[in-house]
Chains A and B, each alone.
Chain A
Amino acid sequence: MNYTFKWSVLWSGQSGAWLLQGLITTLELSALAWLIAVALGILSGALRTVPFPPLRWLATFYVEFFRNVPLLVWMFFWYFGVTPLLPRGAQDWLFNHGLEFWAGTIALGVYHGARMSEVIRSGISAIPRTQFEASLAMGLTTLQAYRLVILPVALRLIVPPGTSESLNLLKNSSVALTISVAELTFQTRQIETYTAKAIEAFTAGTLIYLVLCLSISTIMARVERHYAIPGLISRAQAG
């Protein structure tokens, strides 16, 4: 072992600016992809319960196909495969507005939408039908039953797995470096290339991811405990 540490590479030169830019891109990419994932998750989750089979099949196909194929393949598929098939005008617009970023956002969002769909579905199906029937028997309207009984419980059930799925999304945003989106891992790699100081560069990147993930999960655990209904969800107290 013969390695001289030089931690100053992290704040001398452009390294600091690169890390910051990388962090911002990671957050932007993850936030946009998260919105897509939640929207698609809710939509496909709802479609899987409608009484019209073709729509149900479409939603099932989406969930089963997209979540069972590696994200990296989807990155290449959207970036290299789909872009050339777009109309000329759309291609020009994308080339001028960061094509990699948008392809990465779509790949990440559509992939995680399929996984989010399962989280949402299992949260809703965990609520017994009798709860809904009991609400109606108590004289609530359907809307009131959803607003006052079903959703408050379903949301509490969805928060813990939804949080871990959102963290997976954040961590998976690093795969976008393969289509050269300048996110955090990409910038860490760039610092390594310029300074030849691998340990310092990867320590910085790793610590930023760790702080992000641990702080999100700590906040969400607190939210979960704050809103827990005593005796209803024992997991909230145990976890």
Chain B
Amino acid sequence: MDLTVIANNFKFLIVQGLIGIGPFIGGTLRLAIPAIILGFVLGIFIGLARLASAAWIRIPATIYVEFFRGVPLVMVIFWIWFVIPQLLRRPIPEYGVALTAFVIFEAAYFGEIVRAGVQSVSRGQVEAATALGMTATKTMAHVVLPQALKNMVPSLVTQMIVLFKDTSLASIIGYVDLTKAAQIVNNREIKPFELYLFIAVVYWLCTYSMSRVARRFERRAA
């Protein structure tokens, strides 16, 4: 074990790779945070669409979810990386490709969580809101979604952790995230054991603290 390689490249790995400040357009956090927010927003629409009574809304949403849950993320990244530039006849930057792929892909998973969350709210709540004269939209916004959100928290956090880990796949198309930063350093230093173990610990610290925060939040919300 030679830890000097970590100490010498600490700034590059963390500031450039994890956070995304430096000569390259990159950063795990700069990709993960927008991807989580946008993926969840799209996921809410997809989850609600799957519960719609109108078939022309429900069926496309179901196909969307089943399609993306049956395909590896790497494949989705390649679709966007190779196919969209051919169709548009101009290159798309890695950041745009990665963000698009993650949002589209993870929205299918977030959609399933939203659907399960909404279904977990008992029917009596909807009936009571209707009896009080609330419209369907008001019932959804003021009665069902707030309760559903509380039930969703554990699986939402699990999915956010999955997405955070998945952002490492953006390094395949050359986006300089934490994994790519470690690869760049390794090409120069040839210390794979130390470097990959180090970024494993960094990833672990991020995901583990996410799950700790979630556990605390759950206890307070309960």
Contacts and interface: CB of A to CB of B under 8 A. Distances in A.
Interface string B11-23: 0000000000000
B133 interface: no
Interface in A158-196: 167, 171-175, 177-178, 185, 188-189, 192
B87 A73 contact: no
A167 B72 CA distance: 10
A14 to B, nearest CB: 19
B165 A69 contact: yes
A82 B193 CA distance: 6
Interface stretch (A17-25, A93-101, A206-214): A206-214
A3 B86 contact: yes
A1 interface: yes
B168 A70 contact: yes
Contacts of B37: none
Nearest to B171: A72
A205 interface: yes
Contact of A178 (B172, B196, B204, B207): B172
B179 A76 contact: yes
Contact of A73 (B67, B168, B193, B194): B168
Given A69-B203, A73-B203, A198-B82, A85 B183 contact: no
Contact of A202 (B79, B171, B182, B193): B79
Contacts of B204: 65, 68-69
Contacts of B208: 64, 68
A39 to B, nearest CB: 22
Contacts of B193: 77, 80-82, 84-85
Interface of A is mostly: helix
Contacts of A167: 70
B61 to A, nearest CB: 17
A106 interface: no
Given A3-B86, A73-B199, A81-B197, A68 B72 contact: no
A82 B161 CA distance: 26
A46 interface: no
Interface of A: 1-3, 64-65, 68-74, 76-77, 80-82, 84-85, 167, 171-175, 177-178, 185, 188-189, 192, 198-199, 202, 205-206, 209-210, 213-214
Interface of B: 66-67, 69-75, 78-79, 82-83, 86-87, 89, 161, 165-169, 171-172, 179, 182-183, 186, 192-197, 199-200, 203-204, 207-208, 211
Given A70-B167, A206-B71, 10 more contacts: A64-B208, A65-B200, A70-B169, A76-B183, A77-B192, A81-B192, A174-B73, A198-B82, A210-B67, A213-B71
28 contacts: A65-B200, A65-B204, A68-B165, A68-B207, A68-B208, A70-B169, A72-B168, A72-B169, A72-B171, A72-B172, A73-B199, A73-B203, A76-B183, A77-B192, A80-B196, A81-B193, A81-B194, A81-B197, A84-B192, A174-B74, A175-B169, A192-B78, A198-B82, A198-B83, A202-B75, A202-B78, A213-B69, A214-B70
